[in-house]
Amino acid sequence: PGHLEVKNGHLHIGGMDTVELAREYGTPLYITSEDRLRDNFGRFKKAFPDAHIYFAAKSNNNIVVQRILAREGAGADAFSDGEIYLARLAGIPPEKILFTGNSKTDAELEYAVNSGVMVSVDSHDELISLSGIASRLGKEVKIAFRVNPDVSADAHPKLATGLKTSKFGIPSQEIVSTYKKAKELPGVNPVGIHCHIGSQILEISPFAEAMSKMMDLVEAISGFIDLEFVDIGGGLGIPYQKDVRAPTPQDWADAVLPIFRERCAKLGINPELHIEPGRYITADTTILLAHVNTVKKAYKNFVGTDVGFNLLIRPAMYDSYHEVVVANKADGTAADTYTVVGPICETGDILAKDRKLPEIKKDDIIALLDAGAYGFCMSSQYVGRPRCAEVLVHEGKADLIRKRETYDDLLQNQIIPGRLL
């Protein structure tokens, strides 16, 4: 991608030398390109000119990232009360926030009602709770139902969400009765329908299939529901491996917009189309820099870095592939095969397996690419490691957008009972 380039043998992001940034801010370090973020969002605006883009906030919880997207016009898919809170702080108005969680608490629902956001209802129990809470507060909430469309998307098993076996959504065959029920209940106004079939989807056909199934349901409820929006979720994959062919927002739009428009015209309705991309907007905006502490020639060539699954859990959790670049030898030719590991006390703490890379030595800097989605936001302090810093680069300048944690942060919220003082 254009925001990454090699100059003087060093990897640059947004025109800035990553080796210099590592020196200035230390490692580990997440670095995000603001231009790339705006460009990625722009791709959706162009491909879906009439749709509303609800950024899946779970993919990147940095308030600055959300603020930039808010200024580009994004709404938010917020999966928890905390994400509603952050989206509001980022400047996203409540009417452009959809609370999409499953297994929501009553307290979260009350928070959502008071915030004035819309709610995607995931179960019958939730519908009853929400109706009760909103009525008690003398309010009415706009709701959608999360449908389980039973579409098989070719995603990692842990990332497929639209199968009938998954925990998400209300089965299609119960949708009509559920909307009827909602119409009778006080405090809730069913105006939307929502699905999300999975994540890191690299084929277009599941999106088309889901769109058709959603429109079947729209048809079934349109006689008695005044539909304001149809939300088809997110899930567009990205090419983590450069030789993988991945669909673009335009491919997604080309596959679903004709179905949506034709079926709406046939029904004589004019609902908004909502999409909820996360990964595609944030993933390739960001790299994660690691410092090489050791190179061990053992059963394999193990490169020991300061980044482990505490900071990037995707390889350990989903066997995900992240491209590795030796940032200070970015134009070097492959010299050997390396397995890049972290500083966590588990064998599974592997970031990249058997990669052909230039010769790696202690104190080299390694960049893990495409780390902007489900990266920092899934981090932990496991093994007593304070979380790292985040930097935003824009027009040749870098801004610290999250401080590195300190030892004090390891103690945050811990309380020592008096008798143990």
Under 8 Å between Cβ of 351 and 307:
yes
Minimum CB–partner distance for residue 210 and ligand LLP (Å): 12
Please give the backbone phi and psi of residue 334, each rounded to the nearest 5 degrees, phi first. -60, 130
> Looking at 273-281, 289-297, 339-347, 386-394, which segment touches ligand LLP (CB under 6 A)?
273-281
**Min dist. Cβ of residue 269 to ligand LLP (A):** 23
Among residues 195, 264, 345, 388, which one is catalytic? 345
Type of residue found at 153: A
For ligand LLP, the binding residues in 72-131 under the rule CB under 6 A are: 77, 100
Amino acid at 160: A
CA distance 19 to 311: 19
Site string for ligand LLP, 277-296 (x = CB under 6 A): xxxx----------------
- CB count within 10 Å of CB 155 equals 22
Quote the tokens at residue 250.
């335009």
As given in the structure block, the two tokens for residue 314 are 């995707």
- Number of Cβ within 10 Å of residue 346's Cβ equals 13
Kindly tell me which residue out of 28, 206, 234, 249 binds ligand LLP, with binding defined by CB under 6 A. 234
The token duo for 208 is: 């088309």
Residue 345 designated active-site: yes
284 near 239, Cβ under 8 Å? no
Q: Is 149 in the site for ligand LLP (CB under 6 A)?
A: no
As a whole number of angstroms, the distance between CA 226 and CA 28 comes to 51
Q: What residue type is assigned to position 291 of the chain?
A: H
In sequence order, which residues have a C-beta less than 8 Å from that of residue 412 and are 6 or more positions away?
none
The distance of closest approach from Cβ of residue 231 to ligand LLP in the complex, given in angstroms and rounded to an integer, is 8
Minimum distance between the CB of residue 158 and ligand LLP, rounded to whole angstroms? 7
Of 229-237, 296-304, 333-341, 383-391, the window that binds ligand LLP (rule: CB under 6 A) is 229-237
**Residue span binding ligand LLP (CB under 6 A) among the ranges 26-34, 85-93, 209-217, 232-240:** 232-240
- Among positions 383-412, residues that touch ligand LLP (CB under 6 A) are none
- Tell me the per-residue interface mask from 49 to 68 with ligand LLP, x by CB under 6 A, - otherwise: -------x-xx---------
Where is the binding site, in residues? 235, 276-279, 314, 318, 346, 374
Task: Please report, in range form, the residues annotated as the binding site for pyridoxal 5'-phosphate.
Answer: 235, 276-279, 374
